[in-house]
Each structure stands twice: as structure tokens, then as C-alpha cells.
Amino acid sequence: MDSETDPNRFWISGVINSTSTPFLPNGDIDFSSFDIYIDFLVRSQVDNIFVNGTTGEGMALTIDERKLAAVGWINAARGKIKKVILHVGAANLRSSIELAKHAEAIGADAIACMCPTFYKPKTEENLINYLSQVAAAAPSTPFFYYSIPRMTHVHLDEVKVMQLAMLKIPTLHGMKDCTDCLTKSLVCAHLDRRKLQVVIETPGDMLPSLSIGIPCLAIPAYMAPIYNRMKNALEAGDSETAQRDQLMAVNLELLLVNIPKYRKRTTDSDWRMEISKKDTGPWHLTATGEIGVRRDPMLSNELLLRPDLGKRRMRSYTVPSHWIYGLEYPQGCGTVSQALRGWDLPTDFISTPLKPQTVSVRNYIALNKDCVQRGIVTAPEQRSFRQLYDIRNTITKGHAGRFEKMEFPIETTFGMPVRPSTPIQEVIGNKFGTMWVQEKKDEFARRTQREAHKQNRQSAVYKTRANMLAQYQQPTKEPELWKLPRFTKCAQPHLETFRSEAKKNQAMAKQELDKIPRLGTTQQGIYTAAYH
């Protein structure tokens, strides 16, 4: 029986969404938004939720806040969401064990745990020792190892970790792999296909993960409809539709990454628009980089807030109109003689009242616009001035050909054209990819044509000694003429210096091969010519 259809087997099917914890302006958790959030996820075709993880900022909450949030999510998801996975990882072992016991007590479907982030484990054995104690605190709840090296900065071998965990953790059911490495995910998933289940979170790997047997993904809510449509098309054998949906997901992800305004709207604010337009407080406590008592001031501090897309940040601050840097003293005071006497200042200097300090608004953007409207000559005015006072109008007809006046149409618009908006239809339709492929083909054709033309223009190669040696062919042995036996030289040398007939033939062949280098191009030899 398949793992997905076995009623006695825990198995996650469908899309998993890592929920974000909503907060009130004072930093408390907004429990009233949980039901609205769950309804939004159900409409977005999300089947499961992962609570108090990285997106939910679980590591930034206290133990009591994490317990209350877990209860709130389970109550809101009852009857609407298939599985609720609670993250119980913490900075110390006792807190993780306490959260694991609480998760099993409130009826969580599964728990997940990451490694400690401050006192990090050095080896896979140390990590398994930590995870086994956390899993033992909830012996009746499925356990998942949460691997996210980009946040924990713990880079261990996930395959070895899963192999050791299979031996020491009886409730192990899989891993949430955030390493963005499909190779490791594939190996871990096939360690035990019936028991282990690997969950990845990369939208760009949705189609490849389905093709290698990893159908469960933790992706944003706006990616769930695209993933479900892609999965149905792949099961129906329509690979073209599945590839088009994967390309759409990649283009959408790149667009949201490059435009932070759209990313924030898509991930955080879609469901919040339904909360009767009330102020629900900061959405991410860690979005500005600091957590704690400074939560409220961080939301209004200009140094911490990022400007909106297309708007410049103010570079100046208001100061009094009569602001004086340093001490003000009357003219004539502070001479060399007074410095030598110890700076004896007059009494009226100390009692001199300062000028009234009035704050003037220094909005340089508005001042620049006002200067442009009042003092700077515009382009049409400059053109009219040149038409009346241009020196080229006084040039005689005989020299008029040297100076040709430029004529502009009356409707000419001076300045730079406005940058067009992002062509979302072209991005989704992959038109830029088609244009890029055509440009590469044209460039390859031009390069091939240039190389062919260059080869045709090449002249004869200059003959050098190296070229002659490279073209030299060893002469073949010609048959000897017929000779009478009586005239054949039958004398043998008195001393035979070769070891064998083969060595003798080899030496003779090398001597014949070295004939050209020894003689040289001038037939005088190259070994002795250098001495003359």
C-alpha cells in the first residue's frame, strides 16, 4: 500500500505554508487575526501550516508566547487545515523539551526542531544527541528535523544526520530541507521511501522536485495555485503546461525579489486588507533588524525605515535659522594678548543675550523646484532667445553654408523620456528569453562570418625551420639494384658494438631522422656553425 493512502501512516500531502505571526502595535500577538489568516490560506489552496518557524519569528518570542501562538493556530486551523506542524527548536535543550511536551499535549500533528544557533553542534553525533532528547519528550508525535543553514550557520552533512537519526529517533518521519540542494534532498528521501518524507521550500524547484519524487513543498500562499495547477498538468502528461507554470513561478519570484514593495504586499498584506482597514500593528518584529523595548520607536525612526520605491530619502534636518556652531564672542575679543593673559572675557560677553532661535523648514526638494520655476531659464525660453539673438542670423549668404541653423518642431519636448513600467506580460510570457536566444543566434552567425572571412584573407605561411621539420617525411627504403654475388661486400667489422640487430636498425633510423637538423638549411651543419 502506498504511504499516502495508508490510513495508519502519517504522511503530509499538499502545500505547506510557513505562517507569519501577526502582532499588535505594542508588540503583543494579535490572536484575533488567526481565523482571518487561516481563511485566506484555505482560499489560496494551502493544505498544511508550519507554525513558529523562521517566517513566524518563533525564535524572537518567549516560551509562553510560543505556547499561546501554538494553541491559537491549532484552534483556528481545526477542520480547515490538514496538518499543523509546530516548530519547537530553541536556544537551549530544556526549552525545546518543554515546547515538545506542550505540542503533544495540545494535539499537534507533528513537531520540528532545528539545531541550537548560539552554542552550535560541531559534529553530526552531537546534533543527533540533542534532537533525540527533544523527540523523546513527545514519544507519540511525528518528528521532523528542520535544517536551515543560512539562519543557524551550522553546515553539517544532512545525509549523515538522517542516517544517524533513523537509528536513534524512533518517531523520525522526515526533514524540512532549506539547503536549496536537490541532490541531498533526493538522497535523504530515498533512505526510507515508506517512512521518511522530505519537504523543500524553493519555488524554483517545484517542477524538478515533483519529477524526483518529492511532492511536498513549503511555499508562499500565492504560489499554491500555480503549484497545484502544475502538479495536475504533470500527472495528466501535459509537460508543456507544467513547464510554463514553473517558468511563471520563477519569473514571479524574481520580480518580487527585485521590487521589495511588491514582495511585501504579496507576502504580508493580502490577507490583512480584510481586517476592516484597522491598524493591526507591525507585521514583522524582525523586519527592521531589532527586537525588544524599541519596537515602537523603530517604526517611526527615519534612519531605520527604507524609502518607498522611486522616492528619495530626506538628506537634511531642521536647525534654527540663527544657528551658530561654537561660542559667540564680540568683535575684538580673543586676541593674542588676551590669550596670553588667560582669556579675560568682558562681562558684557557673558550676559549678551543670544538671538531668538526660530526653526525654519529646510525642504531642499521643494526649494529646488521653486528655483527651477523662478530663476532657471527653461529650454523653450532659451530657444526663443537664440532665434532672436543668435549670431548665425547675421552671417552673410556667402558663408551661410558653413553654419547651418538647427530647426526644432514647435511640439518638441525637451528632457529625458520617462522610464516605462515593468512589462509584466512580457516577463510572464518569457518574451525576454526568446529575444535573448535570438540575439545569441545572430551574434554567433556574425562571429562565424567574421572567422570565415578572416581565414580567406590569410596569406601563405612563412617557411621557417620549424615548419620545414614539421613537413619533413622520412624517406622510404628503395629496393637495391641487382648485384652479382661475386661483387658483394661480405666483409664483417672487426668489432661489433651493437647488442642486437634491432638496436642497430634503431640507431641507424635515428641517425637518418637527425640528418636534416645536423646539416641545416645552409648544408653546413647547425652544431658547428655557432663557433665560426
pLDDT digits (tens, 9 = 90+) for 473-527: 877 777 777 766 666 666 666 667 788 889 888 888 887 777 666 666 666 665 5
Which set of grid coordinates corresponds to residue 327? 561660542
Q: Which pLDDT belongs to residue 338?
A: 52
Give φ, ψ of 344 to 5 degrees. -80, 105
Cβ-contact 380, 409 below 8 angstroms: no
Our answer to whether residue 227 is catalytic in this structure is no
Question: H/E/C letters for each residue in 444-473?
Answer: HHHHHHHHHHHHHHCCCCCCCHHHHHHHCC
Q: Which pLDDT belongs to residue 290?
A: 39
Our answer to whether residue 101 is catalytic in this structure is no
Cα 477 to the chain's mean position, in Å?
70
Residue 16 pairs with which residues in a beta bridge? 48, 218
Cβ-contact 221, 44 below 8 angstroms: yes
Sequence-distant (6+) residues with CB within 8 A of 445 are none
Q: For residue range 128-181, what is the model confidence (pLDDT) as tens digits?
A: 999 999 999 999 999 999 999 888 888 888 899 999 999 999 999 999 988 888
Burial class (CB within 10 angstroms; exposed 0-12, middle 13-18, buried 19+) of 467:
exposed
Query: Between the ranges 251-265, 268-282, 315-329, where is the mean pLDDT highest?
Result: 251-265
Residue 347 amino acid letter: T
Domain boundaries, the chain: 15-281, 503-532
User: Closest Cα partner for 109 from 135, 72, 76, 83?
Assistant: 83
Instruction: Write out the DSSP string of 260-320.
Output: HHHHHIIIIITGGGGSTT-----S-TTTTS--STTHHHHTT-TTTSPPPTT-PPP----EE
Q: Are strands 319-320 and 359-360 parallel, antiparallel or unpaired?
A: antiparallel
Cα 213 to the chain's mean position, in Å?
26
Q: Which of 51-55, 175-179, 352-356, 368-372 shows the lowest per-residue confidence on average (mean pLDDT)? A: 352-356
Q: Which pLDDT belongs to residue 114?
A: 93
The Cβ of residue 369 has, within 10 Å, a number of other Cβ atoms equal to 11
Which set of grid coordinates corresponds to residue 299? 517604526
Helix (H) or strand (E) holding 175: strand 172-177
Name the pLDDT band for 189 (thresholds 50, 70, 90). confident
Which set of grid coordinates corresponds to residue 4? 499516502
Say which of 37, 145, 146, 227 is annotated catalytic: 146
Residue range 15-281, CATH number? 3.20.20.70
Helix (H) or strand (E) holding 20: none
How far apart (Å, rounded) are the C-alpha atoms in residues 21 and 37?
Answer: 10
Say which of 67, 83, 176, 231 is annotated catalytic: 176
The Cβ of residue 225 has, within 10 Å, a number of other Cβ atoms equal to 15
Name the pLDDT band for 289 (thresholds 50, 70, 90). very low
Q: Which pLDDT belongs to residue 473?
A: 80
How far apart (Å, rounded) are the C-alpha atoms in residues 176 and 104?
Answer: 19
Q: Is the dihedral of CA 160, 161, 165, 166 positive or negative?
A: negative
Better pLDDT: 312 or 97: 97
Which set of grid coordinates corresponds to residue 438? 535570438
Portion of the chain with pLDDT greater than 90, in percent: 18
> Which residue's C-alpha cell is 601563405?
460
Helix (H) or strand (E) holding 378: none
Cβ-contact 43, 77 below 8 angstroms: no
Category of 523 on φ-ψ map: left (φ > 0), alpha (ψ -120 to 50) or beta: left
Cβ-contact 111, 100 below 8 angstroms: yes
How far apart (Å, rounded) are the C-alpha atoms in residues 126 and 122?
Answer: 7
